[in-house]
Chain A
Amino acid sequence: MARTPRSAAIRTRTGVQPLRFSSTVQMGSIEGAKAENGVAAPACNGGDQRNGGGGAAVRDSEAEAGRKGKAGAGVALPLEVGTRVMCRWRDQKLHPVKVIERRKIPNAGPNDYEYYVHYTEFNRRLDEWVKLEQLDLDTVETDIDEKVEDKATSLKMTRHQKRKIDETHVEKGHEELDAASLREHEEFTKVKNIAKIELGRYEIDTWYFSPFPPEYNDSSKLYFCEFCLNFMKRKEQLQRHMRKCDLKHPPGDEIYRSGTLSMFEVDGKKNKVYGQNLCYLAKLFLDHKTLYYDVDLFLFYVLCECDDRGCHMVGYFSKEKHSEESYNLACILTLPPYQRKGYGKFLIAFSYELSKKEGKVGTPERPLSDLGLLSYRGYWTRVLLDILKKHKSNISIKELSDMTAIKADDILSTLQSLDLIQYRKGQHVICADPKVLDRHLKAAGRGGLEVDVSKLIWTPYKEQG
């Protein structure tokens, strides 16, 4: 299976969280892609729960009579939240959607609404506002009988079965979050507040909700200064800002430079506003990130491509200054225009190079998103199998850990998931058949951009004073 994990969505959670960002199905995952190819049912993404018992009311006798019957041309407008309908997507084809929210179009007729829809085949990141013209009203199904249906099924099912369904329902990628907090999260983040951002050269469609200050709630597009990451609501404001902004690179120390690629270390305490801006921005593309706590306990490692206009951020990862759980990475993001170019793998490799310099083993903060786990599994597989291929004599997991700065648990889980640790004659052995290793290595994908350790000039963080 070809794995080209885009390291876009690895969430972080930095403490207790009344604020929980999560989503339903991570369709961006490889697993999701498989399902998309026609294996599994595509629409297990919480659409029902999202609106369960919410706005779906019985509207007319026609709908009442025909359960989920086609309403046809006589459909009542505006459509209710919870309606299922086909919608023309950017590929000009019709896709099934569910109406999540609706709003009046300003300065239009009383029944002129636009609808926030969830494409049931895809990840939540593709949810968007659409006009009525995009919807095929002949395919309208109202979920009016959702409650009744739920009741019927719940009667037939034992409590255990029900629980099982509930569990599997939320499972993909959010094993660590319980169903209740997941639903709370979905309710809170169900509609993206910012639809687009402009950041440097690119205008980017956002993926998820981000809790910007309330003053920004009324705008669907934000303009970011690509250097200090301040955000504004109008283009003119950005242009005026650009005339005075004195930054051409992240406000920290450059700790790595190789060709046009540079890495900057930014202290969240010294550059609070920058750190916060970065978090607001990152949250737009990470479902499982919390902005609950302040940034001063974190260091931000911002990766840039540099040219004569400045150093343009392509991605970043954050890291706790002191991690009690030996985390060497809290949150990681490659911005969409730079995805699938190997930057994510570079960021992961970089985080381990820092751990090696610290003389510590490290591990990413949990829970990992599906995409995150995939990227990490790929990295671990490549690093460990490359060693096993060359290594001749016996080797312990601890030695592997010391060589790679990968935590022993992660090494074990990686080797075990590849079935490379066998129990023979009362002892564990590592199977390193070159054919098997090559196969796994191929499946793990390319290594991406290499980290040239000789170009890393860095000393571990020390508290001042």
Chain B
Amino acid sequence: MSRLSFRPRPLDIHKKLPIVKSIKDFEDDDAPATAASTRNSQLLRLAADADNEQVHQTPGKKSSQEIPTPQFSVVATYERDYARTFAQPTSYLRARGARAEIGEFVEYDLDDEDEDWLEEFNKERKTLTPEKFETLLFKLEVLDHKIREKAGVITPTFVSPIPVLLKLDAAAEALQSLFVRFAVFQSVYNYWKGKRERWQKPILRCLQPPPPVNDTNPYNVFRPREKAHRLHTRRIQRRENNVQSFEKLRQVRRNLDQVKTVLEALIKREEKKREVMECEINLQRIQLKYKHEAQLVEDRSALPGFIPAPCKFGSREDDLMDSDDATNGRPHAWPTAVHLQSIDYKMAMVPAGRMRQDLKRAPLRNGWLRKMDPNEPVLLFARGVDPDKLAAAGIVRPPDPSIENGSVAPPYRFHGRIGRGGRIIFDRWNPLLRAPLGHESSAYVLPSPLPPPNG
């Protein structure tokens, strides 16, 4: 609906965000003209809706109850099928070993086919119980698996039909302890073998191999996942101790030595740079001091009633030295000889540590009129322009346009100042608004040639 006219900067999840407890704060604290206010009104509406949400709630609730899902019912025989034999211990239950490890549990459950065959088999007289049959099939599966394991024909995945390797005699011998008559056992064995050959895979699910990794048949499930080999290359390399790794280490040493040389050179260079910088700062300080004290001399002469405190002025020779230059108002015009002399003088006078301290303090001070500290530097561009000096230098102020056409707009005075590097700067003028540029916040009004009607 309403979009911000600008793209908000991406949210930094590490940044602490203010929590605004009332939406009304949004409305009050900002100009109403911003595009975002529409979003806020939306929020306000939300808050208002909170009161009469009853209206919104009802249809939603109704529909959620109407979502139909397939049904379920209670099994009548449940109470009989499942015995009430479970007693929860007071401590949390722990897992036992998996069933296969215990070995006693008959994991195989007869399927329809088995049951049908057994029914047929027991038709004349009951010779085999389902439980016994289940056990036999289970043991046959396990025995066959062991034999295939020994023969080394177990494949990790299901790629080709799995043959039966267990022979009748071997099976009968191994399962003697089950006390099954050989005739019965033979029938079961034959039935099992037939079933295995039809299935072409073990009938016990836990013995069935998974489908191969590259099998795409969607009916086949539970593929093994390719193991992602994490390469421990670094550890392996470190352990090797041969000529190759020796050479490699020598190369590393050479590289490090070179890096060391480069870094040392870098440190030297940076030290030199710092020295140069300090020299320049010194130079500028001295220049500023000259300029500043010359100005004071001038001020005193302009205001005859003003008597400077002795600590401020007149105690230094250098102040007097350039006083005649100061009237010029243009630092560049200083004689070179005086220039150099003053630098030498300052260098001798001011220790470097103190100078730095002064510079650090400087930005904190904005009241340039309080020139209590004679060491405090005055930056040229912060000083206003003296019209008299301008005139003396042959610079003419541009005419004031408001005076020219005699409009009702308040007369505007040019604020000239000295910019960095000694340029003289006048703020620019917008002829339509009759205001200096940079003050556009006031409404745009065309200057009317007619006087406003009375009334």
Q: Which residue numbers of A lie inside 8 Å of B, CB to CB?
A: 1-4, 6, 8, 15, 18-20, 27-30, 32-34, 36-37, 90, 122, 125-126, 188, 198, 200-207, 211, 213-215, 219, 226, 230, 232-242, 244, 246, 248-249, 251-255, 257, 262, 264, 266, 270-273, 276, 279, 291-295, 297, 306-311, 336-337, 339, 388, 391-399, 401, 408, 412, 419, 421-436, 438-439, 442, 457
CB contact under 8 A between A394 and B19, given known A34-B63, A336-B69, A424-B26: yes
Further 13 A-B residue pairs, CB within 8 A, beyond A34-B60, A421-B11: A27-B67, A37-B66, A202-B75, A207-B69, A255-B92, A294-B225, A306-B86, A309-B83, A396-B16, A426-B9, A427-B17, A428-B11, A435-B50
In the assembled complex, the Cα of A235 lies from the Cα of B60 at a distance in Å of 42
Closest to B101 in A: A270
Across-interface contacts of A214 in B (CB, < 8 A): 219
Among all A-B residue pairs, the 9 with the closest Cβ atoms: A1-B60, A205-B70, A2-B61, A394-B16, A423-B8, A19-B218, A291-B221, A33-B63, A397-B13
Question: What distance in Å separates the Cβ of A132 from its nearest Cβ neighbour in chain B?
Answer: 22
CB proximity of A445 to chain B, nearest CB, Å: 10
Assess the B95–A270 pair: CB atoms within 8 A.
yes
What are the residues of chain A within 8 A of B218 when measuring CB–CB?
A: 18-20, 188, 211
Query: What residues on A are CB-neighbors of B43 within 8 Å?
Result: 419, 422, 431, 433, 436
Beyond A237-B111, A394-B19, whether A309 also contacts B63 by CB under 8 A is no
Question: C-beta contact mask, B103-134 vs A, less than 8 Å → 1, else 0?
Answer: 00111011110010000000000000011001
* Chain A nearest Cβ from B82, distance in angstroms: 5
Q: Which of B30-63 contact A (CB under 8 A)?
A: 30, 36, 39-40, 42-43, 46-47, 49-50, 53, 56-57, 59-63
Known: A27-B67, A237-B110, A240-B131. A424 touches B36 (CB 8 A): yes
A19 to B82, CA, bound (A): 37
Against A, the Cβ 8 Å flags (1 = close, 0 = not) of B61-84 are 111101111111111011001111
Question: How many Cβ-Cβ contacts under 8 Å join chain A to chain B?
Answer: 276
Asked whether A435 and B39 contact (CB < 8 A) given A198-B75, A254-B92, the answer is no
Which residues of the other chain, A, contact B212 by a CB distance below 8 angstroms?
A: none
| B67 and A394 contact, CB distance less than 8 A | no
Closest to A411 in B: B13
Kindly provide the distance from the CB of A173 to the nearest chain B CB, expressed in whole angstroms.
Answer: 14
Q: List 26 A-B contacts (CB under 8 A).
A: A1-B61, A3-B64, A8-B69, A32-B67, A126-B68, A203-B74, A203-B75, A207-B69, A230-B109, A240-B134, A244-B131, A254-B92, A266-B95, A271-B98, A273-B206, A394-B17, A395-B16, A397-B14, A422-B20, A424-B29, A425-B30, A429-B17, A429-B18, A433-B22, A433-B43, A436-B46
State A297–B226 Cα separation when bound (angstroms). Answer: 11
Which residues of chain B come closer than 8 Å to A428, judged between CB atoms? 8, 11, 15, 17
Known: A34-B63, A425-B30. A336 touches B8 (CB 8 A): no
Q: Which residue of A is nearest B6, CB measured?
A: A423
CB of B223 within 8 A of CB of A292, answer: yes
A447 CA / B417 CA spacing, docked (Å): 68
Residues in chain A near residue B61, CB distance under 8 A:
1-2
Tell whether, in the assembled complex, residue B23 and residue A270 are in contact, meaning their CB atoms are under 8 Å apart. Answer: no
Nearest A residue to B218 by beta-carbon distance? A19
B22: chain A residues at CB < 8 Å are: 433
Chain B residues closer than 8 Å to A426, beta-carbon distance: 9
CB proximity of A284 to chain B, nearest CB, Å: 10
Give bound CA distance, A240 to B222, whole Å. Answer: 28
Which applies to chain A's interface (DSSP): helix, strand, loop or mixed? Answer: mixed
How distant is the Cα of A435 from the Cα of B44 in the complex, in angstroms?
10
Which residue from chain B places its CB closest to the CB of A284 in the assembled complex? B70
Find the B residue at minimum CB distance from A260. Answer: B88
A238 to B78: give the CA distance in the assembly, Å. Answer: 11
Instruction: Give complex CA distance A271, B102 in Å.
Output: 13
Distance (whole angstroms) from the CB of A288 to the closest CB of chain B:
14
Q: How far is the CA of A311 from the CA of B82 in the complex (A)?
A: 12
Are A253 and B109 touching (Cβ within 8 A)?
Answer: no
- What's the least CB distance linking B145 to chain A, in Å? 15
| B: interface residue count bin | 35 or more
Q: How near does chain B come to A381, taking the closest CB pair, in angstroms?
A: 14
Contact B63 A37 (CB under 8 A): yes
A253-B95, A408-B13, A421-B11 known; A205+B72 contact, CB < 8 A: yes
Minimum distance in angstroms from B43 CB to a CB of chain A: 6
Q: Determine whether the beta carbon of B69 is less than 8 Å from that of A431.
A: no
Q: A251, B95: Cβ atoms under 8 Å?
A: yes
Given A294-B222, A425-B30, also A204-B64 (CB < 8 A): no
Q: How far is B21's CA from A435's CA once the two chains are assembled, in angstroms?
A: 10
Q: How far is the CB of A449 from chain B (nearest CB, A)?
A: 18
B87 within 8 A of A: yes
* Complex contacts, A393 vs chain B, CB 8 Å: 16, 19
Are B21 and A433 closer than 8 Å at their CB atoms? Answer: yes
Are A122 and B71 in touch, CB under 8 angstroms?
A: no
B329 within 8 A of A: no
Task: Name the B residues within 8 Å of A276 (CB-CB).
Answer: 205, 221-222
Contact (Cβ within 8 A) B50 A272: no
Q: Are B20 and A432 in contact (CB under 8 A)?
A: yes
Pick from B4, B75, B210 the residue with the most CB of A within 10 Å.
Answer: B75
Partner of A397, one of B17, B72, B74, B92: B17
- Contact check: which of B47, B68, B73 meets A433 at CB < 8 Å? B47
Nearest CB of B to A413, in Å = 12
| A residues near B63, Cβ cutoff 8 Å | 30, 33-34, 36-37
